[in-house]
Structure 1
Amino acid sequence: MAYLSMGEAHRRITDYLSRFSDAVSSQDAAVLSPLLAVSSNSASLQSLADALNVFQDSNRLVGQMERSSQLAEILSPLLRCIQSYRLGRFADAYVALEKAAKYYFVFFFCLFVSKIPTLFWFMTVWRWGFFSAFLQEFRNWETPWAMEALYTLALEIRLLAEKADRELASSGKNPEKLQGAGSFLMRVFGALAGKGPKRAGALYVACQLFKVYFKLGTVHLCRSVIRSIETARIFDFEEFPVKDKSTCNVNLAQVTYMYYTGRLEVYNENFLVADQKLTYALMHCSPRKETNKRMILKYLIPVKLSIGILPKQWLIEKYNLIEYGEVVNALKKGDLRLLRQALREHEDRFLRSGVYLVLEKLELLVYQRLIKKIYVLQKQKDPSKAHQVKLENIVKALKWLELDMDIDEVECIVAILIYKNLIKGYIAHKSKVVVLSKQDPFPKLNGKPVGS
């Protein structure tokens, strides 16, 4: 850091405080939001952090503001957060930001709800811990201008909690901040989830909650959030204001919501619903967000494969999803050995994504494709006997693929394929022959999951 005089440090801090106060007075969310984006590493916030390291009495400057009595409880911890973040003390930064966020929430409640007569009453209630009472009353607030700043705070709470937990874990301490962030965001979500202009804010906070729960491995907690949104029918995506929408004219929060709820349906093996949600997310994702599209496709491709739809090779190459390339080739060729090799090679990646079991069930489709290939070869040689496939021939094909299976195992697999309606026909047990239907012996899934 270059030399910074005390006078320059004083100027930078007072400039930040003035911009913050002016943004609140003029209700200018576009100016206020960047002032709260601690993890953005913007040049202005970095220079402010440097000034705070030089000028140690920033609270005195906060106290000299015109609206110090109202904004001090927000700005003092916010400045501590910015300074701690710049110094790499992320746990301290998170604690300070959470405190600032709570005061932010209550301050704007007091600013717009006239039933709170004095700041003294506000501070007394706050210090006695009745934050939930304020959140309850906040439901009645209909002024939406500060929502954009709330989005920034919700994002920063999550990002700082993740950094804080990594810092705590590296020093042998209990990483608890992300769990605390989830509790805080859940209370904010409860205050926003109602009718009126705050609904869009509730959806955005819900998406941050999903990210927290998936990170913590507590995805079951998403259910209560989803019930609030879908069961109560408080959201109609088409009613959201245009100003909250991305370049493809769809709110980013909608895409994020459908992505995470789609992933939940994958875990629950509700593949048809997962297909609908993930397809929505992909179709409405901004064309410029290729990284986001890749994240969606990581789950959509296994879902599509499970209902019999193979992706094009160019799609796999464009989004660098090469781990699915051999899986698709195995399905095309009916090569069980190739499928198992692909699952072994990319096992860690598939397990982390939670799609390993989905892909493992594709073995049934590979068996179906293998038997179909034998059927086609027989039809070329002797069309009159094409519909009679000896189990012995299937055993030979598997041995050619270096898979040692006896005839009883193969008979069991064929019985499962018939039961799953992947093959139409029956097994002649005495002659060890699969008698295929002469009409559509290998029906397509037509949107039904392979395991249904």
Structure 2
Amino acid sequence: MAYLSMGEAHRRITDYLSRFSDAVSSQDASALSVLFGVSSNSAFLQALADALRVLQDSDRLVERYSQLAEILSPLLRCLQSYGLGRYTDAYVALEKAANAFLQEFRNWETAWAMESMQTVALEIRLLAEKADRELSSSGKNPEKLQGAGSFLMKVFGALAGKGPKRAGALYVACQLFKVYFKLGTVHLCRSVIRSIETARIFDFEEFPVKDKVTYMYYTGRLEVYNENFLVADQKLTYALMHCCPEREDNKRMILKYLIPVKLSIGILPKQWLLQKYNLVEYSEVVTALRKGDIRLLRNALREHEDRFLRSGVFLVLEKLELQVYQRLIKKIYLLQKQKDPSKAHQVKLESIVKALRWLEMDMDIDEVECIMAILIHKNLTKGYIAHKNKVVVLSKQDPFPKLNGKPVSS
């Protein structure tokens, strides 16, 4: 940092305080939002942080803005600590400033400060994440993100009533989802979802498109975890179709969950799609489904296990084994049909065992019989097992029903 005189430091701090006061008095939400952008790395705020390091007694300058002092004093401390890389101290100060601002926001009858409130909601989450990383690295309990979640619930409560402020509720709900997913407390999303989807005061279509996309993405992920694949398909497809065309990174995030959902209901993506969005970890999974290659599926799951586990889709992909077995039996059936159409519908269990051994899958007839029983029970195969002859007798009409966009029956 270049030398900074006390006079220049005084001027920078006074300028910030004046801008903040003017933005509130003129109800300029955009100007106010910039002043709350702690993590924005704007040149103006970085210069202010330098000034706060030089002029330690900034509270004396805040005194003339007595009505805003409870917001400004801790906000300046936050900016100073953030500039020094002390993120835990910065978070503690920001939370104090944010609570004071929320109190003022509640008192204002109109929603003029909505953009600013949303900036505060974003900053409180981002700074909590930085603070928790700092606490973890020093061997302390990372607790700030949990505190951010509590604050965001208060903000959500302030927006969830009647009136124009409710338009900002979905944005804050999405910030809450990000906190809950990060903490691994996704069950807490349910109360927020109920508030949005059952309250008569909310008309979902009136929310901004970007907030609706984010909301559908997170609620779609929740439905994936709950194995409600049809609902997950609807929500994630909505998110993909309404996502900004230029935001390919966001589309990739959505597809990372939508692709396993589509696979689970029998819809296979094209390879060009996987390559375009750098989702090649799904390539061998898709190929395994097309070929009926159980070995390839298991190898793909083993190779990308860490990635799939982190995404929470490993169990979804693991359950694709039944579809792979169905494709394998179908290939055997089609080969028999070419040789002897009159006996195509009678598939010996031993033939399936041989096919699996060719794929280096060592299974005996009893194991194969069990798999066939499951396929028939799940309606992936129509027919019955002639136990005495060790033969699967397939239906002569539609022996391998397609899922047609429906999940495998439980």
When the two structures are superposed, what TM-score results if normalisation uses the length of structure 1?
0.89
Q: 1:74 to 1:282 in 2, by over 3 A?
A: same
Report the counterpart of residue 84 of structure 1 in structure 2.
Answer: 81
Cα distance per residue 1:104-142 (max 9 Å; x no partner): 1112334x3xxxxxxxxxxxxxxxxxxxxxxxxxxxx4x
Identity of aligned residues (%): 85
Q: Does the CA-based 8 Å contact 2:345-2:396 persist in structure 1?
A: yes
Cα distance per residue 1:49-75 (max 9 Å; x no partner): 0111111121111123xxx11111111
For residue 379 of structure 1, report the CA deviation from its aligned partner: 1.1
Report the counterpart of residue 47 of structure 1 in structure 2.
Answer: 47
Q: Does the CA-based 8 Å contact 1:210-1:260 persist in structure 2?
A: yes
Q: Does the CA-based 8 Å contact 1:362-1:450 persist in structure 2?
A: no
Report the counterpart of residue 103 of structure 2 in structure 1.
Answer: 106
For residue 451 of structure 1, report the CA deviation from its aligned partner: 4.6
Pairing of 1:296-375 with structure 2 (within 5 A): 296-375=254-333
Aligned CA-pair RMSD = 1.1
Report the counterpart of residue 231 of structure 1 in structure 2.
Answer: 198
* 2:151 counterpart of 1:154: no
Cα distance per residue 1:11-69 (max 9 Å; x no partner): 111111111111111111111101101011111111110111111121111123xxx11
Q: Does the CA-based 8 Å contact 2:106-2:158 persist in structure 1?
A: no
Report the counterpart of residue 251 of structure 2 in structure 1.
Answer: 293
Report the counterpart of residue 175 of structure 1 in structure 2.
Answer: 142
Pairing of 1:173-212 with structure 2 (within 5 A): 173-212=140-179
User: Unmatched 5+ residue regions in structure 2?
Assistant: none
* 2:394 counterpart of 1:427: no
Pairing of 1:242-281 with structure 2 (within 5 A): 245=208, 250=209, 252-281=210-239
Question: What is the one-letter code of the residue matched to 1:72?
Answer: A
Question: What is the one-letter code of the residue matched to 1:9?
Answer: A
Q: Does the CA-based 8 Å contact 2:223-2:231 persist in structure 1?
A: yes
SS in 2 for 1:435: strand
Structure 2: how far apart are the matches of 1:396 and 1:100?
Answer: 70
Q: Does the CA-based 8 Å contact 1:326-1:338 persist in structure 2?
A: yes
Q: Does the CA-based 8 Å contact 1:375-1:386 persist in structure 2?
A: yes
Cα distance per residue 1:404-427 (max 9 Å; x no partner): 000111011011101111011111
Report the counterpart of residue 93 of structure 2 in structure 1.
Answer: 96
Cα distance per residue 1:77-125 (max 9 Å; x no partner): 1111011011110000001001101111112334x3xxxxxxxxxxxxx
Report the counterpart of residue 384 of structure 1 in structure 2.
Answer: 342
User: Unmatched 5+ residue regions in structure 1?
Assistant: 113-140
Question: What is the one-letter code of the residue matched to 2:133?
Answer: R
For residue 166 of structure 1, report the CA deviation from its aligned partner: 0.6
Q: Does the CA-based 8 Å contact 2:136-2:142 persist in structure 1?
A: yes
Q: Does the CA-based 8 Å contact 2:167-2:206 persist in structure 1?
A: no
Pairing of 1:410-449 with structure 2 (within 5 A): 410-449=368-407
Structure 1: how far apart are the matches of 2:245 and 2:145?
Answer: 31
For residue 450 of structure 1, report the CA deviation from its aligned partner: 2.3
Report the counterpart of residue 17 of structure 1 in structure 2.
Answer: 17
Question: What is the one-letter code of the residue matched to 1:234?
Answer: I
SS in 1 for 2:402: coil
Name segments (4+ residues, structure 1) moved above 4 Å: none
Structure 2: how far apart are the matches of 1:223 and 1:104?
Answer: 27
SS in 2 for 1:339: helix
Structure 2: how far apart are the matches of 1:61 and 1:11?
Answer: 10
Report the counterpart of residue 38 of structure 2 in structure 1.
Answer: 38
Q: Does the CA-based 8 Å contact 1:9-1:52 persist in structure 2?
A: yes
Structure 2: how far apart are the matches of 1:381 and 1:415?
Answer: 26
When the two structures are superposed, what TM-score results if normalisation uses the length of structure 2?
0.98
Q: Does the CA-based 8 Å contact 1:70-1:107 persist in structure 2?
A: no
Question: What is the one-letter code of the residue matched to 1:380?
Answer: Q
Q: 1:233 to 1:333 in 2, by over 3 A?
A: farther
Report the counterpart of residue 56 of structure 1 in structure 2.
Answer: 56
SS in 2 for 1:438: coil
Q: 1:233 to 1:361 in 2, by over 3 A?
A: farther
Q: Does the CA-based 8 Å contact 1:81-1:94 persist in structure 2?
A: yes
Question: Which stretch shows the higher mean deviation, 378-387 or 225-234?
Answer: 225-234
SS in 2 for 1:448: coil
SS in 1 for 2:385: strand
Structure 2: how far apart are the matches of 1:340 and 1:10?
Answer: 65
Structure 2: how far apart are the matches of 1:200 and 1:277?
Answer: 20
Question: What is the one-letter code of the residue matched to 1:55?
Answer: L
